[in-house]
Amino acid sequence: MAARKKSTSKAKAGEVVIPDKLYFRIGEVATLCHLPAYVLRFWESEFPQLKPVKSSTGQRMYRKRDVENVLRIKELLYEQGFTIAGARQHLRAETKTDKTQAAIPFPSHSHSEIQHIRQGLREILTMLSTRKTG
């Protein structure tokens, strides 16, 4: 029999591969991230980025994004030596940077295209104003 792969994506040594699922229970996240569940619950109170939804039975259900945030927080605290307050501030700054980069720029139009659009708008305005008075 051929050996089965655990995941289709390749990971570096020590890198966590997050399974392709919609939701993860706290125990699964704790196992994936090599953290005790009580640490995850504590981090929820310290980091606004961690907001797992709760099921009808009250169980925490983490999304993939939440698991990525847990791994990022773990990296900041355990590997880079941030304090909790420092990690919170760093994540906030990262989020602001992501939002500005994700903004959709206005389409650039040439001067002649803008003149053409303005002319069309003037024609519409003329039609509407003559319809009112007529």
Per-residue pLDDT of the chain (134 residues; tens, 9 = 90+): 444 444 433 444 457 788 888 899 999 999 999 999 999 999 999 999 899 998 889 899 999 999 999 999 999 999 999 999 999 999 998 877 665 555 555 566 677 888 888 999 999 999 988 876 65
Distance CA(97)–CA(106), nearest Å, equals 19
pTM for the full predicted model? 0.61
Residue 11, in any domain of the structure: no
Q: What is the pLDDT of residue 96?
A: 77
CA angle (78, 5, 17) in 5-degree steps: 20
User: What's the structural domain count of the chain?
Assistant: 1
Q: What is the pLDDT of residue 94?
A: 84
Q: Which CATH number goes with the domain that contains 36?
A: 1.10.1660.10
Residue 16, in any domain of the structure: no
The range of the structural domain enclosing residue 29 comes to 24-101
Residue 50, in any domain of the structure: yes
Residue 78, in any domain of the structure: yes
Distance CA(110)–CA(6), nearest Å, equals 53
Burial profile 12-45: b = 16 or more Cβ within 10 angstroms, e = fewer: eeeeeebeeeeebebeebbebbebeeeebeebbe
Residue 114, in any domain of the structure: no
